[in-house]
């Protein structure tokens, strides 16, 4: 009887445990595994684009430096082993993302009704 009660309680609690990731994202609780993976991805992308490690740190101040370095180093080793060239960015350094089509073309925006006086 006691084992059945424990099993039942565990089964009832299982769906609650499945939402922990969603809850941590909603509450903005940092996830160390995610931060590590993102830092490695940033470092890897920087190296592939031919950016120096220092530039990568400057452009991504929120990324963990150790993870960025690890990703940069892994990509460097991979590129050397496979004799890959860098793929430089095509965007200017201080460019802004392109504006949405509606903002770029005022004629495409719906007309606003005249304000009543």
Domain spans in the chain, listed from the N-terminal domain onward: 31-88
R_g of the chain computed on alpha carbons: 24
pLDDT tens by residue, 31-76:
899 999 999 999 999 999 999 999 999 999 999 999 999 999 999 9
Dist. CA 48–CA 64, nearest whole Å: 18
CB 58 within 8 A of CB 93: no
CB 49 within 8 A of CB 57: no
pTM: 0.59
pLDDT number for residue 82:
97
pLDDT number for residue 7:
76
The C-alpha angle with vertex 17 and arms to 11 and 22, in degrees rounded to 5, equals 145
pLDDT number for residue 38:
97
92 token code pair: 């200017």
């Amino acid at each position: 009887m006691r084992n059945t009660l424990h099993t039942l309680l565990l089964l009832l609690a299982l769906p609650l445990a499945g939402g922990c990731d969603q809850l941590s994202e909603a509450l903005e609780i940092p996830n160390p595994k995610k931060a590590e993976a993102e830092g490695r991805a940033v470092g890897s992308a920087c190296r592939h684009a031919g950016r120096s490690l220092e530039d990568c740190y400057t452009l991504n101040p929120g990324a963990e430096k150790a993870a960025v370095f690890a990703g940069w180093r892994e990509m460097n080793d991979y590129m050397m082993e496979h004799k890959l060239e860098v793929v430089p960015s095509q965007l200017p350094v201080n460019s802004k993302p392109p504006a949405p089509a509606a903002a770029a073309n005022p004629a495409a925006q719906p007309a606003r009704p005249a304000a009543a006086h």
